[in-house]
């Protein structure tokens, strides 16, 4: 079974579009609202709401279309924290689910390393910026 094509946005974030531009020349960017994620849904429990606020504050690239993924990550990590707070062992399946959900958002060190953030407009003033790319 062939590997599915990467989305053009992912190719840009990882730099794959620069490595092999011909591969991505005909790919179209999906339409997005570009709006911020917003506040957590009212039905989330307090622990998941706290995680939602933490994630959306820390991950500045999230947009409105990411709400479902943020919700899953918030619920999973909120449950992990409840187990830890109670001093109980966290089920391996819950740890795996929360790790996967966070990875999909680019919230783990390994997944964040795959994301190339757009150049900051102040990069030309930073003498070390040339070494970051």
pLDDT tens for each residue of 109-124: 888 777 665 555 555 5
Cα separations (Å) of 113 from 15, 61, 82? 12, 14, 29
Global pTM reads 0.68
> Where in the chain are the domains?
35-112
> Which two structure tokens, joined as six digits, stand for 79?
């449950």
State residue 34's pLDDT score.
80
Task: Using the predicted structure, report yes or no on whether residue 3 has a pLDDT greater than 80.
Answer: no
Question: For all residues of the chain together, what is the average pLDDT?
Answer: 84
């Amino acid at each position: 079974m062939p590997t599915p094509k990467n989305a053009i946005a992912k190719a840009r974030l990882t730099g794959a579009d620069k490595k092999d531009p011909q591969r991505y020349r005909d790919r179209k960017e999906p339409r997005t609202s570009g709006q911020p994620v917003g506040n957590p849904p009212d039905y989330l429990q307090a622990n998941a709401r706290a995680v939602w606020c933490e994630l959306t504050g820390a991950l500045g690239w999230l947009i409105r279309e990411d709400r479902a993924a943020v919700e899953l990550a918030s619920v999973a990590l909120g449950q992990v924290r409840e187990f830890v707070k109670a001093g109980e062992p966290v089920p391996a399946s819950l740890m795996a689910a929360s790790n996967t959900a966070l990875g999909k958002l680019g919230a783990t060190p390994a997944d964040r390393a795959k994301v190339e953030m757009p150049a900051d407009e102040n990069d030309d003033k930073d003498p070390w910026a040339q070494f970051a790319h």
